Amino acid sequence: MITKEYIAESYKKIQDEITVALEKLDGQAKFQEEQWQREGGGGGRTRIIQNGAIIEKGGVNFSAVHGKLPEPIKKAFAVEEDEFFATGVSIVIHPNNPHVPIIHMNIRYFELNEHIRWFGGGIDLTPHYVVADDAQFFHRAMKEVCDQHHPDFYNDFKTRADNYFYIKHRQETRGIGGVFYDKLTPENTGLSEQQIFDFSCDLGRAFAPTYSVLVNKNRNLTFTEEQKSWQLLRRGRYVEFNLVYDSGTKFGLETNGRIESILMSLPAQANWFYDFKAEPGSAEEQTLAVLKKGISWI
């Protein structure tokens, strides 16, 4: 059985690898690190990059926390134990160019005891403008990682992403989805714990090369003030999802996590326009038309 300490150390290495890759990708800005301790047990490393050549604001966070599980989460998990351990890497990147997509990744491990242990995570893409070729490339990359570990992973996790990253009050998906999984165990996958852990690490290591291709393809495209306004509107949708629906945000707040680290997923700026209507036939209207569940990009 792999230990929680080994999992945490492995995730820290992935954080290191990704921050190095993103600094190289941006070419200008550097990450600033803040180490923090959680009241109640554990802590983490928050790494923030801002005002770069392409990354307006981004975070690559690692945490390993433990302590007493709050009553609301005990009820949600339907467990009696209250001593928990959780570790993971969480990433959100907000670019300054509307043609470059927002991206989010999370890989995590949760443990109550030697019998209640599971993995969760995923990667999803939120383009301000949906470009079919980019969407296909991204989903093919996610499928390639999944297929290396289980033939059902991509289809199952793609469906979960569509359902999870859904803004119910807008009746639209946050972006084009990706893969999302939760509470993976040997019992529900047929894989060993080591194999599930290996999958989570491979997914984490797929983040930087996949995103680099999309950034480099689009980073030099020019944009208008109208396109920038649309980007800020789409960021507003991102904020709505994270504050209303995101389970990671809720878990962090309910376990007395570090607020700056929890809310690093929010962009530096976002807008809300009253009763926005896209122009018929515009790129904005075309993007809204594909923010739906169940679209196959492969």
Chain Cα centroid distance, residue 262 = 12
Sorted by where each begins, the domain ranges of the chain are: 4-289
The percent of residues in the chain predicted with pLDDT above 90, rounded, is 85
pLDDT in tens, 160-187: 999 999 999 999 999 999 999 999 999 9
Contact 35, 44 (CB under 8 A): yes
For 191, other C-beta atoms within 10 Å of its C-beta total: 18
Q: What is the pLDDT of residue 252?
A: 81
pLDDT in tens, 55-81: 999 999 999 999 987 777 777 666 767
pLDDT category, 225, cuts 50, 70, 90? very high
The CATH topology of domain 4-289 is oxygen-dependent coproporphyrinogen oxidase (3.40.1500)
List CB contacts of 296: < 8 A, sequence separation 6 or more: none
Q: What is the pLDDT of residue 115?
A: 80
Mean pLDDT of the chain: 94
For 113, other C-beta atoms within 10 Å of its C-beta total: 11
Chain Cα centroid distance, residue 172 = 18
Q: Are strands 117-126 and 166-167 parallel, antiparallel or unpaired?
A: unpaired
- Write out the catalytic residue numbers: 104
Model pTM?
A: 0.94
